[in-house]
Chains A and B, each alone.
Chain A
Amino acid sequence: MKKVLVILLLAVVGFYLADVFIGIGFGNDHFVKSDEIKPVKDIYLQQTVENLKVSNAVTSIVVNFRGFDTLGEVTVLFLSVTALGSILYRKRHHAGDRSVLFSASSIVTAGSKLLFPPILLLGAYVFIHGHLSPGGGFQGGVIIATGFLLMLLAYENYTVSHNALSIVESFAGITFAVIGLMGFMNGGTFLQNFLPVGTLNDLFSGGIIPIIYIAVGFKVAAELTGVIYTVLNEKGDQKNG
Chain B
Amino acid sequence: MVGTPVLFIAIPLLAAFLIPLLGMIWKESVRIVPGLVLMYLMVLAVSLMGHVAHNGPIIEIIAGWAPPIGINLVFNAFTGFLVTLIIFMGLLVWLYSYRFKSNVEYEPARKYFILLMMLVTGSTGVVLTGDIFNLFVFIEITSISAYALTAFYTGRDSAEASFKYVMMGSLASTMLLIAIMLIYSQLGTLNMADVASKIHLMDPTLKAISFILFVVALGVEAEIFPLNGWAPDAYAEAPGPVGAAFAGIVVKAMLYALIRFTYTIFDLSGAFNLLIIIGLLTLVIAEVAAIRQDKLKRMLAYSSIGQMGLVMVAFGIGTREGVFAALFIMLNHAIIKPLLFFSGSYLVYHSKKKYISDIDGMGKLAPFTSLLFALGAFAIVGLPPFAGFWSKLSFLVAAADNDMVLIIALILAVSIVEIVYYMRVVNRIFFFKRTTGLLARRPTFNAYIVMSVLGIIVLMIGFFPDTVTGYIQAAADSLFDKTQYIHSVLTASIQ
Contacts and interface: CB of A to CB of B under 8 A. Distances in A.
- A and B: direct contact (Cβ < 8 Å)? yes
Contacts of A50: none
Contacts of A170: 17-18, 20-21
A167 to B, nearest CB: 7
B494 A188 contact: yes
A44 to B, nearest CB: 7
B115 A86 contact: yes
- The A interface is mostly helix, strand or loop, or mixed, namely helix
A12 interface: no
A6 to B, nearest CB: 14
B140 A76 contact: yes
B63 A83 contact: no
B133 A69 contact: yes
Nearest to B186: A32
B138 interface: yes
B145 A83 contact: yes
A40 interface: yes
Interface residues of B, number: 62
Interface string A181-199: 1010001111111000000
B21 A167 contact: yes
Contact of B198 (A30, A36, A89): A36
A107 interface: no
Interface in A168-215: 169-171, 173-174, 177-178, 180-181, 183, 187-193
B184 to A, nearest CB: 9
Contacts of B185: 24, 30-31
A97 interface: no
Interface residues of A, number: 60
A166 interface: yes
Interface stretch (B66-74, B280-288, B390-398, B425-433): B66-74
A125 B127 CA distance: 39
A163 interface: yes
A82 B65 CA distance: 33
B61 interface: yes
A30 B148 CA distance: 40
A67 B115 contact: no
Interface stretch (B201-209, B308-316, B373-381, B476-484): B201-209
B148 A189 contact: no
A188 B495 CA distance: 9
B8 to A, nearest CB: 11
Contact of A87 (B105, B114, B151, B202): B151
Contacts of B145: 79, 83
Given A76-B144, A177-B14, A191-B62, A40 B188 contact: yes
B209 A20 contact: yes
Given A20-B209, A167-B21, A170-B21, A189 B186 contact: no
B189 interface: yes
B159 interface: yes
Given A86-B112, A89-B154, A170-B17, A79 B118 contact: yes
B188 A38 contact: yes
A188 B64 contact: yes
B154 A90 contact: yes
Contact of A82 (B24, B114, B186): B114
Given A83-B147, A163-B24, A189-B60, A177 B189 contact: no
B209 A82 contact: no
Interface in A82-97: 82-83, 85-87, 89-91
B186 A183 contact: no
B144 A80 contact: yes
Interface in A17-52: 17, 20, 23-24, 30-32, 34, 36-41, 43-44, 47
A16 B137 CA distance: 26
B134 A72 contact: yes
Nearest to B146: A83
B209 A83 contact: no
A123 B18 CA distance: 26
A235 interface: no
Contacts of B17: 78, 169-170, 173-174, 177
A177 B203 CA distance: 40
Residue from B61, B64, B147, B190 whose CB has the most chain A CB atoms within 10 Å = B64
A68 B198 contact: no
Interface string B129-152: 000011001101100110110011
A99 interface: no
B59 to A, nearest CB: 11
B13 interface: yes
A79 B141 contact: yes
B187 interface: yes
B486 interface: no
A27 B63 CA distance: 31
A191 B10 CA distance: 10
B16 interface: yes
Nearest to A84: B148
B122 to A, nearest CB: 8
A65 interface: yes
Contacts of A41: 188
B474 interface: no
B134 to A, nearest CB: 6
A32 B200 CA distance: 11
B164 to A, nearest CB: 14
A73 B71 CA distance: 14
Nearest to B189: A40
B366 interface: no
B361 interface: no
Contacts of B16: 75, 78, 173
5 contacts: A34-B201, A69-B134, A79-B114, A90-B154, A174-B18
Given A181-B10, A181-B14, A189-B494, 10 more contacts: A23-B206, A38-B188, A47-B69, A76-B140, A79-B114, A82-B115, A87-B151, A177-B17, A189-B61, A190-B63
